[in-house]
A and B are shown apart, each in its own frame.
Chain A
Amino acid sequence: MSAFLEIEGLTAHYGDFKALFGVDLTLDQGQTLAIIGANGAGKTTLMRAITGIARVTGGSIRLAGRDIARLPAPDILTAGIAMVPEGRRLFPSLTVEENLQIGAHARKGSGFWTLERIYTLFPILRERRTQPGTALSGGQQQMVAIGRALMSNPTVLLCDELSLGLAPVVIREIYAAFPTIRQSGTAIVVVEQDIGQALKVADHVHCMMEGRITLSGRPQDLSRAAIHDAYFGVNHA
């Protein structure tokens, strides 16, 4: 059986700069995948290419058998891929509730995720719902960003650097929502610099370096030394 999300030989550019060099990865329904790597490894470019924000110049991205590699970003969301962007990027002129509602802008029909379910997942957001999204703490903003992405009822949720700039206790609180998200049938791709956190939540890990995947495997099958070497580009040969 083929995977739910299949990426083959993906290349992407920022202007003239080639940022991804033939990336391959697969994701099954309900699975959690972690992509780790240092700054500039190409993780965010990969997320942006999947969601149609970065220009794909080669390869394919298949979602449930359909090639979505060159679709515009709104069509990719409609196809079922939502993203929590790096830095949250909440809309400053919208309240918390409006930020959540805008996530459902393109949704057709009902689905598992509703405002009520988001407020159950992150109860603090109900109390803050009339405040501007950007007036919240970093952790609460991250909750809004996750809730906003879930409001489209995605089949794949891409999370770019969830832990960036957050205290460990807040990171744990945010990752505690993952089992509920997975139970809703949504597969998750997490981009993380925090290796420990990534290994804890993922069924499968890919390490990226200079626009290429340099190591892949299940967390329990990868040694700390192998991850360390792939992360920092150490070659013992």
Chain B
Amino acid sequence: MIWLDTLVQGVMLGGLYALFAAGLSLVFGIMRLVNLAHGDLIVLGAYLILGIGTATGLNPFLAAALALPVMFAFGWLLQTALLNRVLGDDILPPLLVTFGLSVVIQNVLLQSMTADSRKLPVGPVESASLPLGPVTVGVMPLLTFGSAIVVILALNWLFYHTALGRAFRATSDDPVTAQLMGIRPRRIFAIATGIALVVATIAALYLGARANFDPSIGPARLLYAFEAVIIGGLGSLWGTLAGGMVIGVAQAFGAALNPEWQILAGHIAFVAVLLVRPRGLFPRAND
């Protein structure tokens, strides 16, 4: 039964990694931008939720609801003022700029929030659990996984059932021809980054509610997000969830065998999947 419990905990953890990765996958899928600051933007979101909660006395869940539009606006501005200027045929400038942004965010947070570890105080729900048949699952992991499913369902609905989603896909396919349809790719990119930061803020809520965070942990979150996106297949949102679950399950089993192997097991699973499926589990047909 302990193995079943480990499997379930791993799947739940995969939900958190899928939330880390969904925004990264969205941005890469639409504009082929690898955002090296994505992990730091998640940490920034966690600090914003903490700041709003501290200033207003609101529960972190309500504070996160207030942080969502702020992060959308920040994503829009970031794309419009900075990232759109470096997008082009050469992939190096956006990599360098987002790497620089990562360093800037970490240092600004370090300067303004100190290096002390923080945690979002979510209250009794943090330690609550539910018996689900033969296993017992924590309410927070369950909420995290449920949120990942809801986020991916919502993004899929947006992509495949709305005019904006059509514009996202058309721009991703061929930005020049998209302009002939009246689409402004830079505006589409700004909306996409805004949405990516909304998803990053949801990830930030669960990151901060489940574990301690400090200004330096962004790059490791980015690494898990990358692995989830690549395992799932670039640009595939359900694939990203599957990728997160693969890493989560591998880490859970690694930790069950030996706590020191937790992180390593996730990376080994990543390499193993790439050896068998170099384009990931669910690659897009037209990539």
- Interface residue ranges, A against B (CB under 8 Å): 51-53, 72-74, 77-78, 82-83, 85, 89, 91-94, 98, 101-103, 105-107, 134, 148-149, 152
A74 to B182, CA, bound (A): 4
Given contacts A85-B177, A102-B170, contact A93 B183 (CB under 8 A): no
Q: Could you tell me the distance in whole angstroms from the C-beta of B181 to the nearest C-beta in chain A?
A: 5
With beta carbons under 8 angstroms apart, the residue of B167, B172, B176, B286 that contacts A102 is B167
With beta carbons under 8 angstroms apart, the residue of A85, A93, A103 that contacts B284 is A93
Tell me which residues from 161 to 218 in chain B have a Cβ below 8 Å from any Cβ of chain A. 163, 166-167, 169-170, 172-174, 176-184
Closest to A107 in B: B182
Enumerate chain B residues within 8 angstroms of A107, measured Cβ to Cβ.
Answer: 182
Contact A105 B166 (CB under 8 A): yes
Given contacts A93-B286, A94-B166, A94-B169, contact A152 B177 (CB under 8 A): no
Contact A105 B173 (CB under 8 A): no
Contact B167 A105 (CB under 8 A): yes
Enumerate chain A residues within 8 angstroms of B179, measured Cβ to Cβ.
Answer: 52-53, 72-74
Enumerate chain A residues within 8 angstroms of B176, measured Cβ to Cβ.
Answer: 53
A102 to B170, CA, bound (A): 8
Q: Could you tell me the distance in whole angstroms from the C-beta of A97 to the nearest C-beta in chain B?
A: 10
With beta carbons under 8 angstroms apart, the residue of B170, B180, B183, B184 that contacts A94 is B170
Given contacts A93-B172, A93-B286, A94-B169, contact A74 B177 (CB under 8 A): no
Closest to A99 in B: B170
With beta carbons under 8 angstroms apart, the residue of A82, A92, A98, A101 that contacts B180 is A82
Tell me which residues from 261 to 287 in chain B have a Cβ below 8 Å from any Cβ of chain A. 284-286
Contact B180 A102 (CB under 8 A): no
Q: Could you tell me the distance in whole angstroms from the C-beta of B237 to the nearest C-beta in chain A?
A: 13
Enumerate chain A residues within 8 angstroms of B184, measured Cβ to Cβ.
Answer: 72, 74
Per-position 1/0 for B150-170, Cβ under 8 A of A: 000000000000010011011
Q: Could you tell me the distance in whole angstroms from the C-beta of B165 to the nearest C-beta in chain A?
A: 9
Enumerate chain B residues within 8 angstroms of A152, measured Cβ to Cβ.
Answer: 181-182
With beta carbons under 8 angstroms apart, the residue of B172, B174, B181, B284 that contacts A105 is B181
Enumerate chain B residues within 8 angstroms of A149, measured Cβ to Cβ.
Answer: 180
Enumerate chain B residues within 8 angstroms of A82, measured Cβ to Cβ.
Answer: 180
A63 to B180, CA, bound (A): 17
Contact B180 A91 (CB under 8 A): no
27 intermolecular pairs with C-beta atoms under 8 Å apart: A51-B180, A52-B179, A53-B176, A53-B179, A53-B180, A77-B180, A77-B182, A82-B180, A89-B177, A91-B170, A91-B174, A92-B285, A93-B170, A93-B173, A93-B286, A94-B170, A94-B173, A101-B163, A102-B181, A105-B181, A105-B182, A106-B182, A106-B183, A107-B182, A134-B286, A148-B181, A152-B181
A65 to B167, CA, bound (A): 31
Enumerate chain B residues within 8 angstroms of A91, measured Cβ to Cβ.
Answer: 169-170, 173-174, 177-178
Closest to A78 in B: B182
Closest to A53 in B: B176
Which of B167, B170, B172, B177 has most chain A Cβ within 10 Å?
B177
A93 to B169, CA, bound (A): 6
Given contacts A91-B173, A93-B172, contact A73 B180 (CB under 8 A): yes
Which of B166, B176, B179, B182 has most chain A Cβ within 10 Å?
B182
Closest to B183 in A: A105
Enumerate chain A residues within 8 angstroms of B177, measured Cβ to Cβ.
Answer: 85, 89, 91
Q: Which 5 A-B pairs have the closest CB atoms?
A: A106-B182, A73-B179, A92-B286, A91-B173, A77-B182
